[in-house]
Chain A
Amino acid sequence: MTDVTITITDREGVTHEVLAPTDMNMNLMEVVRSFELAPEGTIGVCGGMAMCASCQCYIESDHALPEKGDEEEAMLSEAFFVQENSRLGCQIHITPELDGLKITLAPEE
């Protein structure tokens, strides 16, 4: 399987270009953790259940992402620093369509 390139700006404002596998059932939050772009314990706190907002990120490229599910909508409606382009990284699976995606991690709550 192929890897996709994703550009991630961390909470310190540093931009990283990373290769994410499409065949490991990974999501965006897990990609950030696997490259240690945010300290452990500050991202993916609930483990990826859309039950915290620690993996909130802003989508900065015009990729067509899958629609938000009810749980993601509900969590984002109670999260802080939410913008129009906010998503929960844990709800975005890494697929070939995401090649070239650009995101910025939201501040820690």
Chain B
Amino acid sequence: MIKTDILIIGAGPTGLFAVFEAGLLQLRCHIIDALPQPGGQLAEIYPKKPIYDIPGFPEVLAGDLVDNLMEQIKPFQPGFTLGERAETIQKLEDGSFIVTTNKGTQHHAPIIAIAGGLGSFEPRKPLIPNIHQFEDKGVAYFIRNPDVYRNKKVVIAGGGDSALDWSIFLAHIAAEVTLIHRRNEFRGALDSVEKVQELKKLGKINLITPAEVVGLKGIDQLEAAIVQMDDKTEVTIETDAFIPLFGLSPKLGPIADWGLEIEKNAIKVDNTLDYQTNIPGIYAIGDVNTYPGKLKLILCGFHEATLMCQSAYQRIHPNKRYVMKYTTVGGIHGFDGSVKEAPKAVVKAIE
């Protein structure tokens, strides 16, 4: 069981910054995120795009902002449970909580801060009527262990980097790789596009464009994919696996069933005080919350995270007195023993 002071759900900018504000109050944090890397939307959707409204940064790339936040919170040694989705919550008699992920990892904390943004990212599934029937029986939306495709026939669909990259990778181990996309153009790194072109010429990748997988066949296990060409004719391709890679889209997911008050696909919080939800001890900060006048801005998430931490401190230490201290005055005292401090002024007489 992982134990911490504040369990943060969501490793986007708001969740990451909460670690910093908590650290100033000597509170430790652990973060759960469904994605394999920290950064949330910034890392997953638009790492190379600029943001212009972070105070003090006239322009910063989303990916760089994440890197900076990771650097900023490093002294406070946050724990991470990445690639797992927070699934269930249990309230204990002492008022603390146990949050369990979809992989069974348990986390125990007196305070939960949901910084879940738009929700957890889940694969976009193509609208093929019987696709669910073949999930884990040939159909996969993620490639967890590429080795299962060794010497197998694989059909990949999609037009982005992941479709290109996996086609390239599997071309070396699978018996046959077919890449299908609705148009001739691919949206991916130039390197990858050129590599696929080359593998196509070598006969290692069977490229079918513009075309679309419209049906799946098989009895128990997937046996074939039905591909519709641009002129509406259909061809059947024998295959052991179908891997549609159409990107990810966010869903609020299991958090919606935690008994929290939900409005407009977001969690209602008390914005007059501390961004606490209707369940004492559970807070919601950043894009995942709503209140009158809410704006889904990173800078608002930072503010909400800061107030949330002050409130969390009082819940954890009801009898301790505390006043907020400026970092310029108090410095940064990391849990790793590191200290950052403003240099002392030099006092020297002029003769």
Contacts and interface: CB of A to CB of B under 8 A. Distances in A.
Interface in A36-64: 39-42, 45-46, 49, 51-52, 54
Interface string B48-68: 010000000000000000000
B159 A78 contact: yes
A77 B182 contact: yes
Interface string B270-308: 000000000000000000001000000000000000000
A73 interface: yes
A45 B127 contact: no
B187 interface: yes
A65 interface: no
Report the contact-size class of chain B (Cβ under 8 Å from the partner).
20 to 34
A71 B160 CA distance: 11
Nearest to A82: B182
B159 A42 contact: no
A80 B214 CA distance: 12
B181 A77 contact: yes
A41 B118 contact: yes
A41 B266 contact: yes
A77 B252 contact: no
Nearest to A78: B246
B124 A109 contact: yes
A77 B264 contact: no
Contacts, number: 53
Contacts of B160: 74, 78
A94 B313 CA distance: 48
A105 B264 CA distance: 18
A41 B119 CA distance: 10
Contacts of A71: 187
Q: By DSSP majority rule, is chain B's interface helix, strand, loop, or mixed?
A: loop
Q: Point out which of A45, A71, A81 has the most chain B C-beta atoms below 10 A from its C-beta.
A: A45
B252 A41 contact: yes
A6 B249 CA distance: 29
Nearest to A107: B127
A39 B265 contact: yes
A109 B249 contact: yes
B2 to A, nearest CB: 30
Given A41-B252, A45-B118, A80 B185 contact: no
Contact of B264 (A40, A45, A54, A109): A40
Contacts of A42: 265
A55 to B, nearest CB: 13
A46 to B, nearest CB: 6
B5 to A, nearest CB: 30
Contacts of A51: 45-46
Contacts of A39: 264-265
B249 A45 contact: yes
Nearest to B248: A52
Given A40-B266, A78-B124, 15 more contacts: A39-B264, A40-B290, A41-B252, A46-B41, A51-B46, A52-B45, A70-B187, A74-B187, A77-B159, A77-B181, A78-B158, A78-B160, A78-B246, A78-B247, A80-B126
15 contacts: A39-B265, A40-B265, A40-B290, A41-B252, A41-B265, A42-B265, A45-B249, A45-B250, A54-B249, A70-B185, A74-B187, A77-B185, A78-B124, A78-B182, A109-B249
Pairs of residues from A and B, 10 with the lowest C-beta to C-beta distance, nearest first: A41-B265, A40-B264, A74-B187, A77-B182, A77-B183, A80-B127, A78-B246, A51-B45, A77-B159, A78-B159
